[in-house]
Amino acid sequence: MTNAIEMTDIGLHFPKGRGLLSGLINAFRNNKSVKNRYVALKEVNLEVHQGEVLGVIGRNGSGKSTLLRVMAGIYHPDHGQVKVRGTTSLLAGVNVGFNQNLTGRENVHLYGSILGHRKEKIDGMMQDILDFSEIGEFMDQPLRTYSSGMKARLGIAIASAIEPEILLIDEVLGVGDPQFREKSKKRILDLVKSTGTVVMVSHSFGLMKEICDRLILIDDGHLICIGEVSEVIAAYYELDK
């Protein structure tokens, strides 16, 4: 079986500090002492199969979002190796990656250009993004005028229309009305059928049961287990026992 992502002995540390300034000072000094840094990911070994939907669950602060950002190349691990086969797109929250002062249409061009697409290709996607997002005339309004649901609609529409080979989703599919959530799930499954791979973080176990082939459980930066959806969810509920 071909792997879309392979992570071997991944470790990632962040500077400790009481605030942004102290954190930046520690980073600038490259202070790697134990007392000045905390371990965000610890010896993570993971294979994500091509064409699967892999869910990531865990308690708040466990390292789920950090893991996705390592996959996306935003964070570089302090040790270990990440191999990614294919283009990636990270959809992380309703504000991440957008400029609030640009219109929805301008943000589509911004997002697409960051991923290396030409203007002509982005223009060709525009009608599909407009139809899927259902935001109508707001497409030409500044993003700051959008509700959180409208931003989520636009984000999902853009990320899926661009059709990356690997789509990374961090707590976005649960936003919006039930009809749009169902529409988004279908869109993601259609993407997977066209040889795409999806890794998604969500606290919605109902959604995970519907859409995921496998789950992984992360706690305190450790990969606790990986496997069948119901078994991993059961392991999650055992964490506090």
Per-residue pLDDT of 192-211, as tens digits, reads 677 679 899 988 898 889 88
For 25-82, the pLDDT digits (tens) are 555 555 555 566 778 999 999 999 998 999 999 999 999 999 999 999 989 999 999 9
C-beta of residue 103 within 8 angstroms of C-beta of residue 142 = yes
In a domain, 113, yes or no: yes
Going by the DSSP 8-state scheme, the letter that residue 103 receives in this structure is B
Confidence of residue 212 (pLDDT cuts 50, 70, 90): very high
Quote the number of domains for the chain.
1
- Mean local confidence (pLDDT), 147-167: 81
In a domain, 6, yes or no: no
For 79-108, the pLDDT digits (tens) are 999 999 988 888 775 555 688 899 999 999
Query: How far apart, in whole angstroms, are the C-alpha atoms of residue 216 and residue 227?
Result: 7
Do you know the residue count of the chain?
241
In a domain, 122, yes or no: yes
Task: List, edge to edge, every strand of the sheet that includes 222-227.
Answer: 88-92, 166-170, 197-201, 53-57, 214-219, 222-227
In a domain, 208, yes or no: no
DSSP codes, 206-235: HHHHHH-SEEEEEETTEEEEEE-HHHHHHH
Query: How far apart, in whole angstroms, are the C-alpha atoms of residue 211 and residue 114?
Result: 28
User: Per-residue pLDDT for 17 more than 70?
Assistant: no
User: Domain containing 140: what range?
Assistant: 98-164
In a domain, 202, yes or no: no
